[in-house]
Structure 1
Amino acid sequence: MAVSPRRATLATVAASAGVSVATVSKVLNGRSDVAPATRSLVQSLLRQHDYVAPSPRRGETPGRDTVEVQFDKELNAYSTEIVQGAVEGGADLDVGVVISIRRPADRPGAWARELVGAGRRALIAVTSELTPGHLTALSRARLPLVMIDPLNLPRARVTSIGSTNFAGGLAATQHLLSLGHRRIAYIGGHATAACHQARMHGYRAAMEAEHAEVLPHYVQTGHFQYHDGVVGGAALLDLPEPPTAIFAGNDATALGIIEAARERGLRIPEDLSIVGFDDTQLAPMASPPLTTIRQPLREMGAVALRTALRLAAGEKIDSHHVELATSLVIRGSTAPVAAEENARRAG
């Protein structure tokens, strides 16, 4: 069957399928009152014709807008906060928010068409790795994209939302330095992740400003997971000269470090001080409650949603990258360096 090189319309697909335009519209909108065989035929022809639904013109309200918030992996404490912010923002604006987990797609074009065919006005990708192929597919489908904490920074200009990660890493390390710690380690996330790089550079900047040496093996990468804290914390604490304090790239990693310390009979914070990052629900429930850098995750989800809707409406945005402020939250996992350490230095 020959496919017209022109952009396909509902009428084009309906004529090919031998059904009415209303039937094709029902399939696109997920209506249940379409026979399975007809639905399968129409969906096949939509893909064959490379159909992309036109975006509603400004001022038109054909139905409730929906925005998809997509993750690469299972949800955790960090992503739940993002979702909460996006959903609350959607409720305020009468916009539906759909949450999904993206599986690796061999056909980015089909992936983008499915999003548009499902009626999505925009896509918010959280801590994702999107290839140039994915970005091209979204552009061709005219589907706006907003990224939150992307794991890789695309070469193309992509709108993204983040926080002041460098300032957060700086504040976390300065807090530990103010307590007298000098042997301070850092366990972060993906080596190429922009947020990890910024937090690590903030840590290094604070150490250098105080002429505190970053000892070999004191900087580690991971995946921002609890297991990274258990394994990485064990490696640090088993060094001949272990750190007296550790800055963790997120709260889950910090909890893993606490476990590694307990397995070695170390007390938090008397023997080891720990600072996390994010201030998720895990932080106040830790034992002891975790000192951490608050990342405004809910606000980031809400800002991403509003930005995505502005892009979908064809509005001009002020900046293609927005950073929201972080802040230090002091709880019970940090304390002044032990007197024995001060005596060792003096001797």
Structure 2
Amino acid sequence: MNHAKARLVDLAHAAGVSTATVSRVLNGKPGVRSDTRDAVHAAAAALHYPLERPTRRPGPVAIMTGELSNPSFAAFAEMADTLLYSAGVPNFVCPAGPSGTSEEQHLETLLTMDIAGIISISGMPANNTLPVEPYERVLEAGIPTVFINSPSEQLEAGFFSCSDAEAVASSVAHLRSLGHTRIGLAVGPDRFLPARRKVAAFRALGFGADSVAMTQFTAEGGQVATGRLVASGHTAIVCGSDLMALGAVREARVRGLGVPEDLSVVGFDDSPLMAFTEPALTTVRQPVGAITSAAVAALLRAMDGTPLDTTEVLFHPDLIIRRSTAPAP
């Protein structure tokens, strides 16, 4: 058996000890008898198992994100910066907005630099109209990369996302408990994976296509979607973002409707200040801290030489109930 195939369990079996003991020996931890340590070293030599841990990949980490005017993107970027700084890893943010430098342009520049890794927040893989080749080139260059809310089966990277299905299910369950039966879903374009996942989860709960309005993940998009859904008799709307929810409240007022007296509205993200809107917004809170902590930890391990697990890790959101939802009229 060569070192490319040898695993920790193989080393433990050859040495006649537990994997925990092997791990303590490999990491230089105290509390292991000298003869046991010698047995692990002998087994490692026989299996050609490398005993020295590779040195950490040098350079800063690039945090790739959409436009920072989106409060959700900014929250993830800020948390990533905080965690990396605490780990002693320098970093910088690459905002990729429609009016500025594109994500692909940023990646082309990063390939010319000595960087240790990349964190991509709601990046190109989340948009099915954009190619993933720029990230394939990054990975081929040996740069560890993790993605937040943008999984891809085409890339050998780490993926960490909020569960859109749970977000929709908890929102709908709350509205149904208030007596609403005509519930609509307002989300962004079909090209975005989070929108497609939310629609699939919503339709699975028994709602028809006439209860879905796909526009843009903006306040204006929420206003347009709400106009369509209210016109077709819906009394409650689940929105794909807090910005869309604010647009929904605006459209209700334009139509002379009260929120939540005539129309209940649920957002998504729990962006800063949503507790201070009028009315305070009921919304689904993404676990920004948990998602980012897991992504950063995986990236740091990859920078130390541990391969990334490519299985997408889904995190549970929380429904935060405030004053924008009420019993059905």
The answer to whether the Cα contact below 8 Å between 1:227 and 1:253 also exists between their aligned partners in 2 is yes
Per-residue CA deviation, residues 202-226 of structure 1 (Å, 9 max, x unaligned), is 32333x2xxxx53x53202233111
Note closer, same or farther for the CA distance 1:167–1:194 as it changes in structure 2 (3 Å cut): same
The answer to whether the Cα contact below 8 Å between 1:125 and 1:146 also exists between their aligned partners in 2 is yes
Which residue of the partner structure matches residue 283 of structure 2?
A: 292
TM-score (norm 2): 0.74
Does residue 280 (structure 1) correspond to residue 271 (structure 2)? The answer is yes
Residue identity in the other structure for 1:160: F
Residue identity in the other structure for 2:259: I
Residue identity in the other structure for 1:223: Q
Note closer, same or farther for the CA distance 1:326–1:95 as it changes in structure 2 (3 Å cut): same
How far did 1:158 drift? 3.4
Q: Secondary structure at the match of 1:86?
A: helix
Mapped to 2, the partners of 1:222 and 1:259 lie a distance apart of: 16
Does residue 89 (structure 1) correspond to residue 117 (structure 2)? The answer is no
Does residue 123 (structure 1) correspond to residue 118 (structure 2)? The answer is yes
Q: Secondary structure at the match of 1:182?
A: coil
Which residue of the partner structure matches residue 59 of structure 1?
A: 55
Which residue of the partner structure matches residue 6 of structure 1?
A: none
The answer to whether the Cα contact below 8 Å between 2:242 and 2:269 also exists between their aligned partners in 1 is yes
TM-score (norm 1): 0.71
The answer to whether the Cα contact below 8 Å between 1:121 and 1:309 also exists between their aligned partners in 2 is no
Does residue 323 (structure 1) correspond to residue 314 (structure 2)? The answer is yes
How far did 1:317 drift? 4.0
How far did 1:117 drift? 4.2
The answer to whether the Cα contact below 8 Å between 1:169 and 1:201 also exists between their aligned partners in 2 is no
The answer to whether the Cα contact below 8 Å between 2:236 and 2:263 also exists between their aligned partners in 1 is yes
The answer to whether the Cα contact below 8 Å between 2:56 and 2:305 also exists between their aligned partners in 1 is no
Which residue of the partner structure matches residue 68 of structure 1?
A: 62
Does residue 268 (structure 1) correspond to residue 259 (structure 2)? The answer is yes
Which residue of the partner structure matches residue 222 of structure 2?
A: 229
The answer to whether the Cα contact below 8 Å between 1:66 and 1:95 also exists between their aligned partners in 2 is yes
Identity in percent:
27
* Higher mean C-alpha displacement, 127-136 vs 245-254: 127-136
Which residue of the partner structure matches residue 31 of structure 1?
A: none
Q: Secondary structure at the match of 2:124?
A: coil
Mapped to 1, the partners of 2:197 and 2:246 lie a distance apart of: 21
Which residue of the partner structure matches residue 139 of structure 1?
A: 139
Mapped to 2, the partners of 1:254 and 1:61 lie a distance apart of: 43
Which residue of the partner structure matches residue 170 of structure 2?
A: 171
Q: Secondary structure at the match of 1:120?
A: coil
How far did 1:234 drift? 1.8
The answer to whether the Cα contact below 8 Å between 1:277 and 1:294 also exists between their aligned partners in 2 is yes
Query: Which residue of 246, 250, 256 corresponds with 2:241?
Result: 250
Mapped to 1, the partners of 2:200 and 2:226 lie a distance apart of: 20
Count of aligned pairs between the two proteins? 268
Note closer, same or farther for the CA distance 1:159–1:128 as it changes in structure 2 (3 Å cut): same
Mapped to 1, the partners of 2:282 and 2:121 lie a distance apart of: 25
Mapped to 2, the partners of 1:251 and 1:112 lie a distance apart of: 29
Mapped to 1, the partners of 2:180 and 2:57 lie a distance apart of: 58
Q: Secondary structure at the match of 2:116?
A: strand
Note closer, same or farther for the CA distance 1:231–1:119 as it changes in structure 2 (3 Å cut): same
The answer to whether the Cα contact below 8 Å between 2:83 and 2:296 also exists between their aligned partners in 1 is yes
Structure 1 unaligned segments of length 5 or more: list them.
1-56, 339-347
The answer to whether the Cα contact below 8 Å between 2:213 and 2:229 also exists between their aligned partners in 1 is no
Q: Secondary structure at the match of 2:216?
A: coil
Note closer, same or farther for the CA distance 1:83–1:162 as it changes in structure 2 (3 Å cut): same
Per-residue CA deviation, residues 33-91 of structure 1 (Å, 9 max, x unaligned), is xxxxxxxxxxxxxxxxxxxxxxxx833586xx421111243431111110121022112
Per-residue CA deviation, residues 72-122 of structure 1 (Å, 9 max, x unaligned), is 4343111111012102211221112211124347xx6x8656325433211
Mapped to 2, the partners of 1:305 and 1:132 lie a distance apart of: 21
The answer to whether the Cα contact below 8 Å between 2:111 and 2:138 also exists between their aligned partners in 1 is no
Mapped to 1, the partners of 2:320 and 2:218 lie a distance apart of: 21
Q: Secondary structure at the match of 1:217?
A: helix
Query: Which residue of 60, 74, 78 corresponds with 1:80?
Result: 74
RMSD over aligned CA atoms reads 2.3
Residue identity in the other structure for 1:305: V
Mapped to 1, the partners of 2:61 and 2:262 lie a distance apart of: 47
Q: Secondary structure at the match of 1:228?
A: helix
The answer to whether the Cα contact below 8 Å between 1:245 and 1:272 also exists between their aligned partners in 2 is yes
Residue identity in the other structure for 1:114: T
The answer to whether the Cα contact below 8 Å between 2:56 and 2:304 also exists between their aligned partners in 1 is no
